[in-house]
Amino acid sequence: MTKPIIGIIGRRAAMVNKNHCEGNIVLYNYLTPLDNVNASYIGLITNNRYDVIDDRILDLCDGILMIGGIEIKSYHIKIIEYAIKNGIPFLGICLGCQALGLSTLTGANLLNLDNELSNNTHVNELVYGNSSHNHKVHLKENSLLYNLFGSTISVNSNHHYALPKVSEPMIVTGTSEDGVIEAIEHIDPNIFAVGVQWHPEYMESMQPLFEEFVNRAKNRSK
């Protein structure tokens, strides 16, 4: 059977070499949970002008994954809008969650948690394995994440920024105990557009999320 193709939006970063070049990278941590469910993947790489990715490339994708990063660009938003419009399952992690939320929030800015919280406990070292849990997230009943994991989960955390709110068609489906938005989903359960602020790629317990994402991609590929 043909494997579903997941398009991965990499993050721009300085390469560690003598020429001090920039590159577009994807950490292996994001690939392992996709390998575990027999998915293929391609990189969605923009040029130095941050031009939008060609629609013909996006049409190759059965699902799109946006990983953590540093800065949201306009082409990120355009990819998300294209994915939702064309029924391509989208999973946003950390910065990807923030971009998904901002895609329906015109003119909104992210919250700087270092300023908003007297003690920002959301910045911690990420360590692979189930031991890397930093705080609890309460999930909205009957949401996709609730159906996968139950009402409360323990997650890792490493972010200075968070969404201030969301607007429909996105809804908040997970919050931390200090009120930070931790998970968002499309209001239509038939549309897989999910964002999580934590890093499931470091957590073995989060494999069901990747399985659901890839299963939705498989259904679209058929």
* From 182, 185, 199, 212, active-site residue: 199
What pLDDT score was predicted for residue 31?
95
Query: Contact 73/47 with Cβ under 8 angstroms?
Result: no
- Quick one: pLDDT at residue 129? 66
Token pair for 120:
């920002």
Domain spanning 5-221: CATH 3.40.50.880: yes
According to the model, what pLDDT value does residue 192 have?
98
Q: Answer whether 139's CB lies under 8 Å from 173's CB.
A: yes
Q: Are 80 and 66 in contact (CB under 8 A)?
A: yes
Q: Domains of the chain: which residue ranges? A: 5-221
Q: How far is CA 221 from the centre of its chain?
A: 21
Q: Spot the catalytic one: 182, 185, 201, 212.
A: 201
pLDDT of residue 19: 67
d(CA 192, CA 208): 14
> Which one-letter amino acid corresponds to residue 41?
Y
97 belongs to the catalytic site: no
pLDDT in tens, the chain (222 residues): 589 999 999 887 776 666 667 777 888 899 999 999 999 999 998 877 777 788 999 999 999 999 998 889 889 999 999 999 999 999 999 999 999 999 998 778 898 887 888 777 787 877 776 556 688 999 999 999 999 999 999 999 888 899 999 999 999 999 999 999 999 999 999 999 999 999 999 999 999 999 999 999 999 876
* Residue 119 CB burial class (10 angstroms; 0-12, 13-18, ≥19): exposed
Q: Which of 94, 159, 182, 186 is catalytic?
A: 94
Indicate if 94 belongs to the active site: yes
